Structure 1
Amino acid sequence: MGGLTIGSLFSGVGGLDMAVEQFFNARPAWFVEFDPAPSKVLAHRWPGVPNFGDVTTVDWNAVPRVDILTGGFPCQDLSLAGRRAGMRPGTRSGLWADYLAAIAAIKPRMVVIENVRGLLSGAAESDSDLEPGAGSVGDGHDGPVLRALGRVLGDLAGIGYDTRRCGLRAADAGAPHGRFRVFVVAYPQDTDSAARGEWWGAAPGSAESGRARADTCGRGGVPIADAGGPAFGEQPRGAFEEETGTNAGDRLADHGGERPDSHGREAWGEFWPAINRWGSVLRRDAPAPTRPDGRDGRHRLNPELTEWMMGWPAGHVTAPEIGLSRAEQLKACGNGVVPQQAYLALCTLLGRPA
């Protein structure tokens, strides 16, 4: 599988791509990210990999073919923190239509999608093949509302892709924050069991061919204390795992073990068990929570801490040579994906031990 390639849409700073790289032993062939700040991170971390910029202007028939498409399309109009405007044309979340067009044109062997909890409850607001006319399936007072996830799964089925989905928290992978996310994997409906074994590394067992299937993961389906979260184990090691991965699944459940730490128990107080647990997963102690770089030397939140909480390599967005402002660093962390969480979702959905 070493020759597998990834095409990344709505790439951000590559958190989801790091997990997909590790799981499939694949490499990025190209990115699609329009925001200048995260684009600097991509160029620094994956030098030489092209970035096609604005997803709405890409000719999908002209880009290099890839085996895997990844991406979390914008969540602003689905998030509980947003306007809940849905997936209408003209909304940021409506860019799902461009994601679908890419899948239909490229026909990848696997699609990996990530989004916020609002995907489960946000309304799709029509403009889907499942709603051919106003009032038919959700727009009228006499019909159920088509949710955003229903639209995504229905659209994928319409172009010949089966799906599996789950939701879990970053905390289920050991992180010291909740950050619930929905993950969807999609693959061509004619993918046979032999191909699945090649791709997924383990027989999926009770997979329901031809149907979108709800899978549980995290606390509902995988006993995290036993599985040890997304320990990379014997998977091929890349730069990401060398810096942040762990082979110590048994330590993930150890909430209280002391380790040498310049910002230890006393600095973190009641939060120490969660901080210590994540440090054990990453094998890297937490940076100082604040630093005195505010006006008149006032302490402010340290972006290096938010980067650490996201499970990214040290300096992934905060390295001075990348050139991001403090605000850009914090925004990148807020919009990003925890790779260990995504890796755990892939293990659960595709039947590989975590």
Structure 2
Amino acid sequence: MYVGSLFSGAGLGDIAAEALGLSHAWFCECDPYARAVLAKRWPGVPVHLDVRDIHAQNVKQVDIVIGGFPCQDISCAGPGAGITGKRSGLWSEYARILGDLRPRYAVVENVKALLGRGIDRVLGDLAEIGYDAEWDVFPAAAFGAPHLRERVILVAYPGSDRGPARAPILAPGGDLATHRQPDGPVDWNGLRLEGPRAQAAVSAHRGPVVCRVDDGGPHWLDRLRCLGNGITPPVVRWVLGRIMTAENCA
């Protein structure tokens, strides 16, 4: 299965796709440092500069489109312009691309605030192009990270392609939940941890922890920014794994 990546950043979600054996057909990212990271990690794969330039005529057809559109106007820490703001308003391009390319699946990511600041627009735009959707809030802590970092993950697919007998991709229960991957959430949809804010969570985490410092090496701030803008890879890996399982069960 081929993947097209929108708003790719440094490719954190794309690392998850690669780990599952999916092949990248193209990326789209405007930040120079992030583009350099993509070019180094996936040499030879086109990296487009602007989502407004992505059309069926100039990119390879893909099975899955993944990416989190800009959250700055949606986030509680942002200016509050909402999904029609200058940056988060690029969702309209995301929807246009899905309607143009017609992938079998799309995995859309954004901050939890989207549920009150634009999810109706997202669902309405998807409905207009004939796509159904499932969504839920996933905390990174459920996948072993030492912080809560709740994110909305939405999986969309052409409405005519899925019958009512097929189990939802993101819902608990059913065959998909029975065959849950080892790196899946430790508590399905019930995890709203206070623990990650405590020292105990940091002590239990065996991986690296990024600390904010002012005397790091070259491109330290660029790297920190890319991590801050990216999604925790195990979350995307689990969601993509569910999609692949659904495909195998069809």
Residue type of the partner of 1:165? W
Tell me which residue corresponds to 2:224. Answer: 330
- 1:288 is displaced (CA, Å) by 8.5
1:297-344 per-residue CA deviation (whole Å, 9 max, x = no partner) reads xxxxx6xxxxxxxxxxxxxxxxx8xxx611111111111110112233
Residue type of the partner of 1:329? R
Is structure 2 residue 3 aligned with structure 1 residue 16?
A: no
- 1:351 is displaced (CA, Å) by 6.9
Tell me which residue corresponds to 2:2. Answer: 5
Which of 87, 105, 108 lines up with 2:103 in the alignment?
A: 108
| Higher RCO, Cα 8 Å, sep 6+ | 2
> For the structure 1 residues 288 and 70, does the alpha-carbon distance in structure 2 shift closer, same or farther, using more than 3 Å as the test?
closer
Tell me which residue corresponds to 1:53. Answer: 49
> For the structure 1 residues 170 and 188, does the alpha-carbon distance in structure 2 shift closer, same or farther, using more than 3 Å as the test?
same
Tell me which residue corresponds to 2:156. Answer: 186
Alignment of 1:1-354 (within 5 A): 4-23=1-20, 25-88=21-84, 91-122=86-117, 148-192=118-162, 204-205=166-167, 207=168, 215=171, 229-230=183-184, 271=199, 273-279=200-206, 285-286=207-208, 294=215, 325-346=219-240
- 1:156 is displaced (CA, Å) by 0.8
Residue type of the partner of 1:52? H
CA-based RMSD of the aligned residues comes to: 3.2
1:180-212 per-residue CA deviation (whole Å, 9 max, x = no partner) reads 00000111112146xx9xxxxxx853x4xxxxx
In structure 2, C-alpha distance between the alignment counterparts of 1:94 and 1:288, rounded to whole Å: 30
Q: Secondary structure at the match of 2:79?
A: coil
TM-score by length of 2: 0.80
> For the structure 1 residues 120 and 46, does the alpha-carbon distance in structure 2 shift closer, same or farther, using more than 3 Å as the test?
same
> For the structure 1 residues 43 and 337, does the alpha-carbon distance in structure 2 shift closer, same or farther, using more than 3 Å as the test?
same
In structure 2, C-alpha distance between the alignment counterparts of 1:64 and 1:177, rounded to whole Å: 37
In structure 1, C-alpha distance between the alignment counterparts of 2:245 and 2:127, rounded to whole Å: 21
In structure 1, C-alpha distance between the alignment counterparts of 2:77 and 2:96, rounded to whole Å: 28
- 1:58 is displaced (CA, Å) by 3.1
Residue type of the partner of 2:43? P
Residue type of the partner of 1:14? G
1:12-55 per-residue CA deviation (whole Å, 9 max, x = no partner) reads 011122223345x3111100001101111101111111101111
Residue type of the partner of 2:129? I
- 1:214 is displaced (CA, Å) by 8.6
TM-score by length of 1: 0.58
8 Å CA contact 1:164, 1:349 repeated in 2: no
> For the structure 1 residues 159 and 177, does the alpha-carbon distance in structure 2 shift closer, same or farther, using more than 3 Å as the test?
same
In structure 2, C-alpha distance between the alignment counterparts of 1:351 and 1:288, rounded to whole Å: 33
In structure 1, C-alpha distance between the alignment counterparts of 2:210 and 2:231, rounded to whole Å: 22
Residue type of the partner of 2:24? P
8 Å CA contact 2:69, 2:91 repeated in 1: yes
Structure 1 alignment gaps of length 5 or more: 123-147, 197-202, 208-212, 232-248, 250-269, 280-284, 295-301, 303-319
- 1:56 is displaced (CA, Å) by 2.0
Structure of higher CA gyration radius: 1
Indicate the larger mover: 343-352 or 161-170: 343-352
In structure 2, C-alpha distance between the alignment counterparts of 1:290 and 1:98, rounded to whole Å: 34
Residue type of the partner of 1:180? E
Residue type of the partner of 1:341? V
Identity %: 40
1:79-128 per-residue CA deviation (whole Å, 9 max, x = no partner) reads 0000110122x610000111111111111011010100111111xxxxxx
In structure 2, C-alpha distance between the alignment counterparts of 1:336 and 1:32, rounded to whole Å: 14
In structure 2, C-alpha distance between the alignment counterparts of 1:192 and 1:344, rounded to whole Å: 20
In structure 2, C-alpha distance between the alignment counterparts of 1:187 and 1:87, rounded to whole Å: 21
> For the structure 1 residues 157 and 214, does the alpha-carbon distance in structure 2 shift closer, same or farther, using more than 3 Å as the test?
farther
Matched pairs, number: 231
Q: Secondary structure at the match of 1:181?
A: strand
